[in-house]
Amino acid sequence: MEIEINEKNPEEMDLADVVLEYEELVSAITLMEKRREELRKHILDICREKDIDVLRIGNVELRRQKAEWKLWHLNRLKPYLMERELWDMVESVDRKALSDLLERGILAEEELEGMYDVETRYSLRVKKD
């Protein structure tokens, strides 16, 4: 798939051309994201099967990185945070806001036991020499 990127300033282009180029880019991005996800899943499946964390192909390096995600139980967490007058700081289960409260010591990990499940997720980092 080849996409021609117009480097002309959109303000200097006809509106119809801007709209058509925009649609072309959105369509291409959708196709590329779908393909990237197919490739990502395949690579992660192979890494899991072979217990590999680093793949090197020529000058390209892929690293599989593990991350633990907390899947918060809102029905338990919200009443607890409301009681501690912290719900207004979170307002919804926002992983980043909750992680910040934990890092700052406002909440302790032990206090929140049973209020979340942990899911292991993997990301791929690409590095090219």
Q: Cα(123)–Cα(41) distance, rounded to whole angstroms?
A: 10
How many other C-beta atoms can be found within 10 angstroms of the C-beta atom of residue 113? 8
The strand pair at 116-128 and 60-72 is best described as antiparallel
Residue type at 126 in one-letter notation: V
Q: Which distant-in-sequence residues (6+ apart) come within 8 Å of 23 by Cβ?
A: none
How high is the pLDDT of residue 1? 66
Strand order in the sheet with 116-128: 54-57, 60-72, 116-128
Stated pTM of the model: 0.57
Residue 55: its pLDDT value, please? 92
The neighbour count for residue 24, using CB atoms within 10 Å, is 14
- The pLDDT assigned to 82 comes to 86
- 10-residue block means of pLDDT along the chain (129 residues)? 81 90 89 94 95 92 89 85 82 76 89 84 75
Residues 65 and 54 sit within 8 Å (Cβ to Cβ): no
Question: For position 112, what pLDDT does the model report?
Answer: 86
What's the pLDDT at 88? 77
* Nearest of 53, 29, 49 to residue 122 by alpha carbon: 53
